[in-house]
Amino acid sequence: MKIKLSIIIPVYNAKDTLPRAINSINNQNIKINTFKVEVLIIVDDGKNYKDIIPKIKKGIKIKIIKTNG
Angle at 10 between CA 4 and CA 61, to 5 degrees: 35
Residue among 8, 1, 3 nearest 40 (CA): 8
- The helix/strand/coil state of 68 is coil
Given this model, what pLDDT does residue 31 score? 77
Summarised one tens digit per residue, pLDDT across range 7-48 is 999 999 999 999 999 999 999 887 777 888 899 999 999 899
- The helix/strand/coil state of 40 is strand
Residue among 64, 55, 5 nearest 30 (CA): 5
Say yes or no to pLDDT of 69 above 70.
no
Report residue 1's pLDDT band, with 50, 70 and 90 as the boundaries.
confident
Residue among 68, 60, 65, 16 nearest 36 (CA): 60
